[in-house]
């Protein structure tokens, strides 16, 4: 299986995120998505999984509560994600076994390896991380999991075809999208997109 990020790098990423305020919206939504399989979860669990401080987690939760995305149980000092929170985060009913998701990720890692060896390919993958409720330390980890989210950083091997600025931008976007789609294949257990820095700030699995 793909190796986890070394402990020192994970701690450095978390310290970096703890010093920043507020956390990216995408980072927060990724956590809400992971809670789909959990009845309740704590402020500490959110802070740990997103690599942010407890104080910052409380501020974020206060905002999400006002927006109706989460509810707080004072008696248990626990949170729950509302239907609105599930919708806005794009979560789906967990239907895959974590073992099958793990295998899909291992197969993807092999495809990345092969693609990077292909000198004729337009791009190579310089970094790839996976995250989601399939991870053992995820707040929503259970007997079933949602499709894993994968972020890939692409590096172009060859100069793109000539064209005007608008055409070049559209063509580049289409080329990157097609490359990611080809790597993903027809596997429904994976959601593949381009890598963003916040993906390494939260709990994740390093694939490449």
Q: What is the CATH classification number for the domain harbouring 134?
A: 3.30.460
Q: Is 101 helix (H, G, I), strand (E, B) or coil?
A: helix
Phi-psi region of 75 (alpha: psi -120 to 50; beta: other; left: phi over 0): alpha
How confident is the model over 162-173, as a mean pLDDT?
73
Verify that 116 and 61 share a domain, yes or no.
no
Verify that 200 and 103 share a domain, yes or no.
yes
Helix (H) or strand (E) holding 149: strand 148-156
Verify that 120 and 146 share a domain, yes or no.
yes
Domain hosting residue 64, numbered range: 7-89
**Taking a C-beta distance cutoff of 8 angstroms, is the pair 175, 160 a contact?**
yes
Q: Where are the alpha helices (DSSP H) in 19-164?
A: 25-34, 43-50, 54-66, 83-89, 98-117
Report CA-CA distances (Å) from 83 to 60, 80, 88, 140.
Answer: 18, 10, 9, 15
Boundary (domain end) residue, out of 41, 58, 89: 89
pLDDT digits (tens, 9 = 90+) for 7-47: 565 555 555 544 456 889 999 999 999 999 899 999 999 99
Does some domain include residue 1?
no
Residue 158 above 90 pLDDT? no
Residue 109 above 70 pLDDT? yes
Q: How many domains does the chain have?
A: 2
Residue 151 above 70 pLDDT? yes
Verify that 198 and 118 share a domain, yes or no.
yes
Model's pTM, two decimal places? 0.83
Contacts from 176-182 at CB under 8 Å and sequence distance 24+? 176/123, 179/121, 179/122, 179/123, 179/154, 180/152, 180/154
Verify that 85 and 102 share a domain, yes or no.
no
Verify that 81 and 107 share a domain, yes or no.
no
Mean pLDDT of the residues in the chain: 88
Report CA-CA distances (Å) from 142 to 50, 82, 132, 136.
Answer: 19, 19, 12, 8
Does some domain include residue 64?
yes
**Taking a C-beta distance cutoff of 8 angstroms, is the pair 78, 41 a contact?**
yes
Report CA-CA distances (Å) from 38 to 18, 42, 62, 139, 142.
Answer: 25, 11, 20, 7, 8
Does some domain include residue 55?
yes
Least confident stretch, 9-18, 59-68, 118-127: 9-18
More confident position, 142 or 146 = 146
């Amino acid at each position: 299986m793909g190796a986890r990020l070394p402990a020192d790098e994970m701690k450095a990423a978390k310290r970096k995120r703890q010093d920043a305020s507020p956390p990216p919206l995408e980072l927060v939504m990724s956590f809400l998505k992971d809670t789909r399989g959990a009845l309740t979860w704590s402020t500490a669990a959110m802070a740990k999984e997103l690599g942010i401080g407890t104080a910052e987690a409380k501020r974020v939760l206060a905002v999400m509560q006002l927006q109706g995305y989460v509810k707080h149980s004072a008696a248990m000092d626990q949170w729950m994600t509302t239907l609105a929170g599930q919708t806005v985060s794009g979560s789906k009913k967990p239907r895959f076994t974590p073992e099958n998701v793990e295998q899909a990720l291992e197969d993807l890692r092999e495809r990345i390896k092969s693609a990077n060896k292909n000198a004729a390919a337009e791009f190579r993958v310089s970094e790839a991380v996976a995250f989601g409720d399939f991870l053992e330390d995820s707040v929503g980890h259970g007997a079933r999991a949602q499709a894993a989210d994968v972020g890939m950083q692409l590096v172009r091997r060859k100069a793109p075809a000539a064209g005007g600025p608008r055409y070049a931008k559209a063509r580049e976007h289409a080329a990157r999208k097609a490359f990611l789609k080809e790597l993903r294949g027809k596997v429904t257990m994976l959601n593949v997109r381009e890598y963003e820095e916040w993906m390494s700030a939260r709990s994740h699995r390093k694939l490449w």
